[in-house]
Amino acid sequence: MNYGQFIYMFPECALVVALILVFAVDFAMTKSGEWRGEKPNVAIGRLTYFMLMTVGLGVFSAMRQGDTITAFGGMYVATQAINVMKMVLTFGTFIVVIMAESWAAKQQRIAGEFYMLILSTLLGMFMMMSSGSFLLFFLGLEMASVPLACMVAFDRHRKESAEGAAKYILVATFSSGVMLFGISFIYAATGTLYFDDVCAAVSNSPLCIMGLVFFFSGLGFKISLVPFHFWTADTYQGAPTPVTGYLSVISKGAAAITLCTILMKAFAPMVEYWDYMLYIVIVLSITVANLFAIRQNELKRFMAFSSISQAGYIMLAVVGNGQLGVAALTYYVLVYIVANMAVFTVINVVEQNNNGRTDMAAYNGFYQTNPKLSFLMTLALFSLAGIPPFAGMFSKFFVFMAGVQNGEPMAYGVVFIALVNTVVSLYYYLLIVKAMYITKTENPLPTFQSDEATKLALGICTAGIALFGVASCVYEWIAAAGI
């Protein structure tokens, strides 16, 4: 084997180096307890910032090469579009790590393993997105899923955290089994696991159709699409808030671009089958999630159903089955990261200053005592709802355009249903705004000062919400990457 091919995997290799370095520093701090006067958890978190910036530079360097990179006999493939998504996910993970600093600093133990788990999960996502074979795809998927379960259970003294992790790992195990069953059908029908070879050999036989259905069902769990969503609310509620934010955007974005890539590469001859599957799942995801979100009083469960609805919008881009769809999906994930992470950053800081409360009633009269945080959260919620002129409106516009690109009448119907549901989502997002600005309470949350890391995370997210929509260069940069 030519080990020189590892140079083509520079982003992944950079993540491995980051993992080793964070592990070494964490091991040293376990004994010393201090490092240059900083608290250990804060120091490790800032080291992780630096390593993620290094990974981002590695992805950017790979993008500048301009060509599709293939290594290890076609098992590893990195296109320009995949590198752009890697950059987007690295940016999102950077925000998560910044947001988690105040939470990690209050842990009673050194939280170095938390940052190692984040890097391990991101490494698995990178491998999953760059896979050219079902074998590497599945290895990357499990590399991302298992550390996520550990992150959900990180608050070991909270019953809800253990319960959420148990539900996540049980459903993940079942979905992986279903997916492997589907992949075995595809292998039996085509005699290969490589996407390009599967595309050349796949047919409309019952075996291939069942393989496609099982594969789609397994990956639908990772994206929280209805009816594979039942784990989402309990897991989001039980996990630490930084982990919930990571689950809602980073893992969802990686799974979405991977599903898009595999459907377009391996199952292109079966587009008439998976298009109709997507139509059904999109309508169910957006509608069911919106109806359940209206009934929620716990904010993390509320955001769980919001993320299920957003997953339906993301999948609209896949229906387009073309370059516009890939660009729209990537742009939507980028905008979704800044808006959703702004909301979770506010939830995180309120939770830490209000005895762990995350119910909606805790935000009654929030504007009276913390007007800046209330304003920033309102901007983020408006972006999630797709209200102009915020970036969320432009991201929804592009996925709607991608959804009707193929010109099928059913696609227009699905987009119309999505538009109607946008109005419904506006209603339940405004419930939080109503609690902060209108609902009166005798005991509002006291005024508190956010730490520097929280301010930085909110600043980055707010800038993204305001600029990503009006700065056309962002979308043009994504669209120029192609497929």
pLDDT digits (tens, 9 = 90+) for 204-222: 888 888 999 999 988 888 8
Mean pLDDT (the chain) is 84
Asked whether residue 34 carries a pLDDT value surpassing 60, the answer given is: no
Assess whether the previous peptide bond of 389 is cis (omega < 30° from 0). yes
Q: What residue type is assigned to position 448 of the chain?
A: F
Tokens of 77: 């493939």
The CA angle 107-109-114, to the nearest 5 degrees, is: 75
> What is the helix, strand, coil percentage profile of the chain, to 5?
80, 5, 20
Max Cα-Cα span within the chain: 70
Tokens of 325: 């769809």
Query: In three state form, how does the secondary structure of 119-181 look?
Result: HHHHHHHHHHHCECEHHHHHHHHHHHHHHHHHHHCCCCCCHHHHHHHHHHHHHHHHHHHHHHH
Tokens of 306: 């919001």
Q: d(Cα 254, Cα 293) in Å, to the nearest integer?
A: 24
Among 37-51, 150-164, 348-362, 364-378, the minimum mean pLDDT is found in 37-51
For the question of whether the overall pTM of this predicted structure is more than 0.75, the answer is: yes
How sure is the predictor about 58, in pLDDT bands with cuts at 50, 70 and 90? confident
pLDDT in tens, 147-160: 888 888 888 777 88
Tokens of 418: 């999505």
Whole-angstrom CA distances from 384 to 157, 258, 313, 405, 462 are: 33, 23, 11, 23, 13
Asked whether residue 135 carries a pLDDT value surpassing 50, the answer given is: yes
For position 37, what pLDDT does the model report?
Answer: 42
Tokens of 203: 């047919």
Strand partners, 131: 76
Section 387-412 average pLDDT: 83
Section 453-471 average pLDDT: 87
For position 122, what pLDDT does the model report?
Answer: 92
Q: What residue type is assigned to position 409 of the chain?
A: P
Among 62-66, 118-122, 176-180, the minimum mean pLDDT is found in 62-66
77 DSSP assignment: E
Contact 162, 229 (CB under 8 A): no
For residues 173 and 323, the model is more confident at 173
Asked whether residue 306 carries a pLDDT value surpassing 50, the answer given is: yes
